[in-house]
Structure 1
Amino acid sequence: MSAPAPAPVAARWQTMWCPRSTRLRRIGRGSWRSPCSGRSSWRASGAASCTILRDCACGLWNGLVRGGKRRFMSTVFDYLSASRAQCLERRALGQGRSLVIWRNRRDRIDYDEPQDHTVSLYLSGGHGSRRLDRGGAKGYPGALCVMPEGERSEWEINADFRFAHLYLPDEELRYFYARTHDRSPGRLCVAGRTFDRDPGLIAFMRALIGADDPLAREQALTGVMGVLVASGPDGAQRGGLTPAVSRRVCAALRDQMEHPPGLSDLARLAGLSPWHFQRMFRVTHGVTPHGWLERARTARAQEMIAQGKPLAEIAAACGYSSQSHLTRAFSRATGLTPARYRAAISP
């Protein structure tokens, strides 16, 4: 009797994790899809199998070197991109935040400890959507859900519906919390919600979806984040810089923005070693010293743009090496170029 034929390469590796989504998915007889390679079909043989294995091996390595709780974590956007959901519109809001309009029908999605916080608002339909891990609770038009980072959930969709997702990186939300409440970001605990009817949060989400200028968008986004950081219970505060040291360090960064002090200089101001200072700064503010400085630079640039200052002057005052450097950093932070931002806020 001849030995059984070995399993196809892709079949033997189908449980390998990919960098941007879940596992390899079968999309037809003999076909496999790798979410990290886009939505193309790959045959389980030859060069295509090698491509799948290469992409997934890169994903495994990326997951291992990250370490900690973020190992193998995918965002809700990644999970939906690998499902039957259709992305209708996607808007970048700066600092890793984004608003996406989706459409889906007849699907089953399991979010396994996703990265980033997600605020969901059902725009039309929704009666066919159920959250299986919450006793099969059913959705409805206008339903609101909040899925905190790391919260597992299982969903079943049996009818066509449209919904909006707002994705907020954990670091950005903690930074906002620290600035808003002048408290350690480690105390923030975002509360999950399933098919809620919070009129304030729903109003901010609808305003964000309909916003057609930067100011309205920024106001609505601030409103959403304000509700999220105000509604969750506080956790225990652990360490961090004292208020006096924190003010002294931030003043040094703000006043010397054109030529900011180095990490050793800041640590000396705080009376700590560079390693310990960087760790305590993040506990206090939710971001690294460089992350705090970049946000302060963006805020100053916005103020100077509103005052009508030339971009070259703004770049120099905010510590950017050139006008093009300002444009790249500003676009990354706000989703708009300085020129578009100036045009949008002009009366």
Structure 2
Amino acid sequence: MHAIKRLEFADYHHVQELGGLEMLRASYQQTQFSKHTHAGYCIGLIDEGAQAFLRTGSQHIAPQGDIILVNADEVHTGSSAVETGWRYRAIYPTPEMMQDISRDFFRETGTAPWFPQAVVHDEGLAEQLRLLFDLLLQPQNALFKQSLYISTLAYLLSRHGQSRKSLQALPEAQRKVLLVQELLASAPEQEHQLADLAVLAGLSPWHLLRQFKKYTGLPPHAWLVQCRLRKSLELLKQGQDIALTAQLCGFSDQSHFTRHFKKALGCTPAQYTAHKS
């Protein structure tokens, strides 16, 4: 017997009552996400099927009813863990959004939280996420949306979050890699030379390549693509034309941009901008 072919779709919504918070409703069977990162956290709930993904260097499987947690800037992948695919919903709060809420939970102020577990089985939290995701797609009800959103993230943080290491506590090599990451993020549309990045970090080019991959999970050129994709999301949300966005973000052409976009986000730029709630 052949598995029933799942209808694939990816609907992005931008919830204006929550500062433009991104929300995704998606169904996949054949789609495989390449290694990528998000500027925000990914907090997802598997509605049907099961998803397999790489996070923190290990492979994980999230079945129906389980919650996926990916930290901001964390390299991860995504594919189906079962023949019939998976359907899920997710939100992508920025580190700034999470910092505001985490002030009440952690002693250190001004630090974004960290989720050590990639997959969480928590029936109470899953039910609250279902309520939140249903509500976010409804019109109006701003106060209810904001209240349920904050209480859901507070529940998540209190049960499954912890404080991230401060910058001062990081190894010296990691701080040098962060300098390079910040430069690439500040000018993703530009071409960058490995020798220049190595000088900035105070490392040899070979040592920089090794340390960068060690601490980010990607080589510098692949990280630069992620920075370009992040810039493209901002421009697309502002209503910028897709072809011009590709040009402004340093992609060689629109098809090159669309190919990278779909591999990382599971939809095309046109699908991403189709819904603005």
TM-score by length of 1: 0.42
The corresponding residue for 2:173 is 241
| Pairing 1:299–2:230 present | yes
The corresponding residue for 1:10 is none
Q: In 1, distance between residues paired with 2:208 and 2:257? A: 28
Residue segments in structure 1 that go unaligned for 5+ positions in a row: 1-38, 41-80, 104-113, 123-143, 149-162, 169-175, 214-219
Q: In 1, distance between residues paired with 2:58 and 2:89? A: 9
Residue segments in structure 2 that go unaligned for 5+ positions in a row: 8-26, 36-41, 51-56, 71-84, 100-109, 139-148
Q: In 2, distance between residues paired with 1:306 and 1:296? A: 16
The corresponding residue for 1:264 is 195
- Measured after TM superposition, the shift of residue 282 of structure 1 is 3.4
Change in Cα spacing, 1:251 to 1:115, as seen in structure 2 (3 Å) is closer
SS in 1 for 2:62: strand
- 8 Å Cα contact 2:49/2:63 also seen in 1: no
Note the alpha carbon deviations across 1:233-252, whole angstroms, 9 max, x for none. 78998846354x34532343
Question: What is the correspondence of 1:144-223 to structure 2 with a 5 Å cutoff?
Answer: 144=66, 189-190=116-117, 196-199=122-125, 201-204=126-129
- 8 Å Cα contact 1:119/1:145 also seen in 2: yes
- Measured after TM superposition, the shift of residue 304 of structure 1 is 0.9
Q: In 1, distance between residues paired with 2:158 and 2:248? A: 32
The corresponding residue for 1:118 is 61
- Measured after TM superposition, the shift of residue 255 of structure 1 is 3.8
Q: In 1, distance between residues paired with 2:238 and 2:68? A: 38
- Measured after TM superposition, the shift of residue 259 of structure 1 is 2.9
Amino acid across the alignment from 1:317 = L
Q: In 1, distance between residues paired with 2:129 and 2:61? A: 14
The corresponding residue for 1:337 is 268
- 8 Å Cα contact 2:246/2:253 also seen in 1: yes
| Pairing 1:102–2:49 present | yes
Change in Cα spacing, 1:210 to 1:327, as seen in structure 2 (3 Å) is farther
- 8 Å Cα contact 1:100/1:166 also seen in 2: yes
Note the alpha carbon deviations across 1:115-169, whole angstroms, 9 max, x for none. 63333344xxxxxxxxxxxxxxxxxxxxx47799xxxxxxxxxxxxxx967699x
SS in 2 for 1:241: helix
Note the alpha carbon deviations across 1:31-56, whole angstroms, 9 max, x for none. xxxxxxxx78xxxxxxxxxxxxxxxx
Q: In 2, distance between residues paired with 1:326 and 1:208? A: 29
Q: In 2, distance between residues paired with 1:279 and 1:230? A: 35
SS in 2 for 1:119: strand
SS in 2 for 1:308: coil
The corresponding residue for 2:210 is 279
Question: What is the correspondence of 1:82-93 to structure 2 with a 5 Å cutoff?
Answer: 90-91=27-28
Q: In 1, distance between residues paired with 2:249 and 2:34? A: 18
> Which has the higher mean CA deviation after the structures are superposed, 201-210 or 318-327?
201-210
Taking only aligned residues, the RMSD between alpha carbons, in angstroms, comes to: 5.2
Amino acid across the alignment from 1:280 = Q
The corresponding residue for 1:322 is 253
The corresponding residue for 1:159 is none
Amino acid across the alignment from 1:204 = L
Amino acid across the alignment from 2:129 = F
- 8 Å Cα contact 1:254/1:296 also seen in 2: yes
Note the alpha carbon deviations across 1:14-43, whole angstroms, 9 max, x for none. xxxxxxxxxxxxxxxxxxxxxxxxx78xxx
- 8 Å Cα contact 1:316/1:322 also seen in 2: yes
- 8 Å Cα contact 2:188/2:250 also seen in 1: yes
- Measured after TM superposition, the shift of residue 270 of structure 1 is 0.4
Q: In 1, distance between residues paired with 2:189 and 2:216? A: 21
- 8 Å Cα contact 2:89/2:133 also seen in 1: no
- Measured after TM superposition, the shift of residue 305 of structure 1 is 1.2
